[in-house]
Amino acid sequence: MRDPKPNPWPGNPNAYECPWGCNGTGSMPWFAHIQGGICFSCKGDGWILGRGNAAPVRSPAPAPPRRRRQWRRVGSQLVEIT
């Protein structure tokens, strides 16, 4: 028997019922031995607030590749070539 929790964000089109293990109840009794069985996806709320049409988060530009250090032998010492 399923008893979903009420929507904490009524009228918000980006709120949706948790589709993972709890199916909107906020708890999973078969995991009662792990933090009381709360659903980690919805944090026990039974609902998830989506991002909707928000602008996508851009990842930072990748770092330039590191330059490989080159060495040459001068006598009995190694000297870095710049």
**Strand segments (E) across the chain:** 15-17, 47-49, 70-74, 77-81
Parallel, antiparallel, or unpaired: how do β-strands 70-74 and 47-49 relate? unpaired
**Which parts of the chain sit beneath pLDDT 50?**
none
On whether the pTM is more than 0.95, the answer is no
Q: Give dist(CA 78, CA 22) in Å, integer.
A: 63
pLDDT at 76: 93
| Whether 23 contacts 55, CB under 8 Å | no
The domain locations on the chain are: 1-52
pLDDT value of residue 82: 77
Contact 60, 49 (CB under 8 A): no
* Residue 53: predicted pLDDT: 59
pLDDT for the residue numbered 5: 81
